[in-house]
Amino acid sequence: MLVLAQESDWFEEYLAPIISIKVVAGVDEAIAHINRYSSHHTDAILTRDHMHAQQFLREVDSASVMVNTSTRFADGFEYGLGAEIGISTDKFHARGPVGIEGLTSLKYVVLGDGEIRA
């Protein structure tokens, strides 16, 4: 069944074998659309144009950006993080697939004997 998309469709995560397709005039419009409506988890471009691929990688504000590959590779294990414990689309503390390192924090201990810093 083919149905014309409404603006609310661009925000929808279907969790079903359903897709929304938008035809755009060029890479600039595609990037603007992605940056407005994406979950910012993973976005991909299929292109033969190297300059478009580089622009996409630079300008799409997502945790994972991919060129000519399946977004199914956006996984903590695939990135060498070990078992994926969670996913974050935020930019603070962890972003993207989260492994154990993303759930830990550091404590810096500095011991001195009266040293000063000028």
Q: Which of 92, 110, 112 is nearest to 102 (CA)?
A: 92
Q: Is residue 2 located within the same domain as residue 60?
A: yes
Q: Is residue 16 located within the same domain as residue 63?
A: yes
Q: Is residue 59 located within the same domain as residue 114?
A: no
Host H or E run for residue 66: strand 64-67
Q: Looking at the chain, how many residues does it have?
A: 118
Q: Is residue 2 located within the same domain as residue 47?
A: yes
Ramachandran class of 80: left when φ > 0, alpha when ψ lies in -120 to 50, beta otherwise = left
Host H or E run for residue 97: strand 96-98
- For 6, the domain range is 1-69
Q: Is residue 26 located within the same domain as residue 61?
A: yes
Measured CA distances, 20 to 4, 15, 43 (Å): 9, 12, 14
Helix ranges (H only) for 1-104 are 27-37, 50-59
Confidence of residue 108 (pLDDT cuts 50, 70, 90): low
What are the backbone angles phi and psi of residue 114, rounded to the nearest 5°? 90, 10
> How many separate domains does the chain show?
2
**The overall pTM is greater than 0.85:** no
Q: Minimum mean pLDDT among 13-17, 49-53, 66-70, 82-86: which range?
A: 82-86
Q: What is the CATH number of the domain that holds 23?
A: 3.40.309.10
